[in-house]
Amino acid sequence: MAQEQVGQFGINHVSILDKDGNVDEKLASGFTKEQISEMYYYLNLLRKFDEKLFNLQRSGKIGTYAQTRGQEASEIGSGLALKENDWFVPSFRELGIYLTRGTPKNLLVQAWNGDTRALGNPNHTHNLSLSIPIASQCVHATGIAWASKIKKEKDVTIVYFGEGATSEGDFHEAMNFAAVFNLPIVFFCQRNGWSISTPTNKEMKTETIAQKAIAYGFKGIQVDGNDVLAVNKVTSQAIEKARSGDGPTLIESITYRMGDHTTSDDSLKYRSQEEINEWKLKDPVVRFEKYVTKNNILSEEEKNNMHQTIEKEINEAVEQGLGVEKPDPAQMFEDVFAKMPEMLQEQKEELLAELEIIKNQEEEE
Amino acid sequence: MVKMHMVSALNSALNIAMKENDNVVILGEDVGVDGGVFRVTENLQETYGEERVIDTPLAEAGIVGCSIGMSLNGLKPIAEIQFSGFSYQAFHHIKQHMARIRQRTNNTMSCPMVLRAPCSGGIRALEHHSESPESFFIHCQGIRVIMPAGPYDAKGLMLAAIKSEDPVIFLEPKKIYRSFKEDVPEEGYEIELDKANVRKEGNDLTMISWGAMTRLCEETIEELEKDNISVEHIDLRTLWPLDIKTLVESVNKTKKCIIVQEATRTCSLSSEISAQINERCVLNLEAPIQRVTSWDLPFPQFALENYFLPNKTRIKNAVKKVLEF
């Protein structure tokens, strides 16, 4: 019997910006002031917009909301690495990517208020709508990337999911298909520590998530997900690798869900305030603020201007998003089949008759 | 016209669609080199290459999920699930995504694709290979469900399904894959979707069927005619959306109705048809609607399948009941 090692694998972890705002000069040197400024704007926009949406839910103005707080660098860093024609396939906690993709903010307010009209963006057909079932979007993204390859188009697909998704069969099937057909796709795992109340170590026993890529035959890499520079660099590299025909990458972005799972959750039931406090010290937005201030990359005036713009944009978006007329109830029949089947037409007429009765009753009262 | 069985008719339809439209791709387990375990996709990979006729890993959710993505990105995927009994592993993608994407995106995206799956029993197959799952799919609001009853219908319906702007589940009854041939045009043609087919006019009762049951009904009707019973026979072709108008028109004329389906009874398409006809024709009905179905049991091991599936005796009993009521 002979025994020999037939494979040897390792996983790299990338970080550029530490929690105190100090950078690895060599790795940070590639970023222009324009890029830094853009990151600063989006990080702060996301933080403030997320806070606003949370508050709107608390005051009963929108429905259940899934906060992004804590994951700003992970989202903005990766979102800014995409080209306009690249495909963005979200799960449901990627508010930041919608922002970097230029989705009108009023539509995002409207969408979190349960209004179908705000879903889907006719001006940007390469952004998918939220996908709430866990991991299923990974397979759709794989199909999208596959079509790009078959059509010989150069678009890359990026798909987002949390670490809980890696427990699902769909994650496995997507990773395997992407590998077998060498597809132009980036699997972006936002490892935020918690799947509602289940911590990462109860989702899996592997040391890293990135190593799972090795089992499928492509590269996995781990990045400090609270470091916008590192996330941007790693994602850009993965996207360009995919674009040049060298296949998929799995990115494990280590971050932390500072808020509850959604506004319907109370995370103190299953995690400690101490843990949350510990992660506050690694806050991605604060960290970047320290960096740009310490290195005088942005002046106080430049920063203030951006904060004012952000506030104005958010206020306008909320006003517009909440101010829209209520949707026409009969509209729900329109968006199911290309041409409404006769049986649905009949049911639509039943609804219209019902609305007429309600209207008459209200007039009598 | 050429005499074709259903497998060749489907193969001919797929060949025509692939020739006409470069965006049509076929994917599934063993659909390429092998031509599918029933040979429906035979020779297509040879003609159109590995990139358009794709042998996938063995993963139903992967096949259907990827097809959804391909469709979103402009291709027209025709996915094969090797046996409909294994489609449940992809059910989540069918119900929660394929059927909903148009609604979820405010009509800015849609998911036109065809999901083919051999279905139904009667060929002494192993467990899980014989079910008739159409009701599950009909209950996924937002998809079209089709089941052809013979070679001519299969080709025309398949070509129409591939042109459909909505997702289609195309269920192919294995028992009639090769059991009989029909005259089928070699060139392409489409059969209108969402329209039932009055296969035979009659006066004494309306008999509604689909899939492999249509052939069984036809054979039974021939025997009934010897007893001077005149049956109006309607095959649904498209199971959903249901062409209720054609059914109602016929029942209002004959005043009696039986529904023959291979699937089990409770909460099935026959339940829905019966309810709809009762809602619309109750004052014209002269007998309670009879349903001829399989029993409400898991499909048995094949030694007993002939006692499970509808047969001529079961159909004739139902006919007797409505006529003697």
Residue of A47, A101, A261, A287 with catalytic role:
A261
Separation between Cα atoms, residue B34 and residue B37, nearest integer Å? 7
Give me the pLDDT at residue A37, please.
97
Separation between Cα atoms, residue A130 and residue A156, nearest integer Å? 19
- Max CA separation in chain A (angstroms): 92
Residue of A47, A69, A101, A257 with catalytic role:
A257
CA distance to B133, B181, B220, per residue, from B10 (Å): 20, 12, 26
SS (H, E, C) A61-130: CCCCCCCCCCCHHHHHHHHCCCCCCCEEECCCCCHHHHHHCCCCHHHHHHHCCCCHHHCCCCCCCCECCC
pLDDT, one tens digit per residue, over A111-120 is: 999 998 998 7
Query: A143 in contact with B at a CB cutoff of 8 Å?
Result: yes
Percent of chain B surpassing pLDDT 90:
99
Separation between Cα atoms, residue B273 and residue B200, nearest integer Å? 19
Query: A125 in contact with B at a CB cutoff of 8 Å?
Result: yes
Question: For the packed helices A228-243 and A33-58, what is the interaxial angle rounded to 10 degrees?
Answer: 110
- pLDDT, average across residues A201-206: 95
pLDDT, one tens digit per residue, over A209-227 is: 999 999 999 999 999 999 9
Q: Is B284 helix (H, G, I), strand (E, B) or coil?
A: coil
- Sequence-distant (≥ 6) Cβ neighbours of residue A150 within 8 angstroms: B25, B51, B52, B70, B75
Nearest 5°: CA angle at A65, between B106 and A162? 90
Which residues in B lie closer than 8 A to residue A128 (C-beta atoms)? 72, 105, 109
- State the smallest CA–CA distance between residue A105 and chain B in angstroms: 16
Using CB atoms, which residue from B56, B73, B93 is nearest to A147? Answer: B73
Domain extents for chain A? 13-323, 329-364
pLDDT for A121 beyond 80: no
Least confident among A6-10, B26-30, B175-179: A6-10
Do A139 and B52 lie within an 8 Å CB cutoff?
Answer: no
Q: How many A×B Cβ pairs under 8 Å?
A: 140
Give me the pLDDT at residue A59, please.
95
Range B197-324 has CATH code 3.40.50.920: yes
Q: How many CB atoms lie within 10 A of CB B43?
A: 12
Do A173 and B59 lie within an 8 Å CB cutoff?
Answer: yes
User: Strand B238-240 relative to strand B144-146: parallel, antiparallel, unpaired?
Assistant: antiparallel
pLDDT for A351 beyond 80: yes
Mutate to test the interface with A, among B23, B66, B195 (most CBs of A within 10 A): B66
pLDDT, one tens digit per residue, over A39-97 is: 999 999 999 999 999 999 999 999 999 999 999 999 999 999 999 999 999 999 999 99
pLDDT for A124 beyond 80: no
Tell me, yes or no, if A270 is annotated catalytic: yes
pLDDT, one tens digit per residue, over A267-324 is: 999 999 999 999 999 999 999 999 999 999 999 999 999 999 999 999 999 999 999 9
Give me the pLDDT at residue A7, please.
87
Q: How many CB atoms lie within 10 A of CB B215?
A: 18
Interface confidence, given as ipTM, is 0.95
Please tell me the CATH superfamily of domain A13-323, with its number.
Thiamin diphosphate (ThDP)-binding fold, Pyr/PP domains (3.40.50.970)
Separation between Cα atoms, residue B325 and residue B316, nearest integer Å? 14
CA distance to A14, A347, B32, B60, per residue, from B55 (Å): 37, 42, 5, 12
Which residues in A lie closer than 8 A to residue B244 (C-beta atoms)? 342-343
Length of chain A, in residues: 365
Separation between Cα atoms, residue A204 and residue A201, nearest integer Å? 5
- Sequence-distant (≥ 6) Cβ neighbours of residue B237 within 8 angstroms: B146, B147, B148, B149, B153, B157, B191, B193, B195, B196, B197, B210
Question: Over the Cα atoms of chain A, what is R_g?
Answer: 22
* Nearest in space to B97 (alpha carbons), one of B70, B64, B133: B64
- pLDDT, average across residues B169-182: 98
CB B146 within 8 A of CB B169: yes
Q: Can you count the helices (H) and strands (E) in chain A?
A: 14, 8
Domain extents for chain B? 2-184, 197-324
Residue A184: cis peptide before it, omega within 30 degrees of 0: no
Which residues in B lie closer than 8 A to residue A139 (C-beta atoms)? 61-62, 65-66, 68-69, 93
Query: What's phi and psi for B235, nearest 5 deg?
Result: -105, 135
Give me the pLDDT at residue B228, please.
97
A131 to chain B: closest CA residue: B97
- pLDDT, average across residues B38-43: 97
- Sequence-distant (≥ 6) Cβ neighbours of residue B298 within 8 angstroms: none
CATH code of the region B2-184: 3.40.50.970
* Nearest in space to B31 (alpha carbons), one of B9, B12, B53: B53
Q: How confident is the model at residue B286 (pLDDT cuts 50, 70, 90)?
A: very high
- Mean pLDDT across chain A, nearest whole number? 96
Do A142 and B66 lie within an 8 Å CB cutoff?
Answer: yes
Do B106 and A148 lie within an 8 Å CB cutoff?
Answer: no
- pLDDT, average across residues B225-244: 97
What's the pTM value of the predicted model, to 2 decimals? 0.96
- Max CA separation in chain B (angstroms): 60
Do B104 and A337 lie within an 8 Å CB cutoff?
Answer: no
Nearest 5°: CA angle at B104, between B87 and B58? 25
- Sequence-distant (≥ 6) Cβ neighbours of residue A2 within 8 angstroms: none
Separation between Cα atoms, residue B105 and residue B153, nearest integer Å? 33
User: Strand B205-209 relative to strand B197-200: parallel, antiparallel, unpaired?
Assistant: unpaired
pLDDT for B325 beyond 90: yes
Q: How confident is the model at residue B73 (pLDDT cuts 50, 70, 90)?
A: very high
Do B241 and A343 lie within an 8 Å CB cutoff?
Answer: yes
In chain A, at which residue ranges do the beta strands (DSSP E only) sit? Answer: 13-14, 87-89, 157-162, 185-191, 194-195, 198-199, 219-224, 249-254
- pLDDT, average across residues B14-29: 98
Distance from first CA to last CA of chain B, Å, rounded? 45
Tell me, yes or no, if A307 is annotated catalytic: no
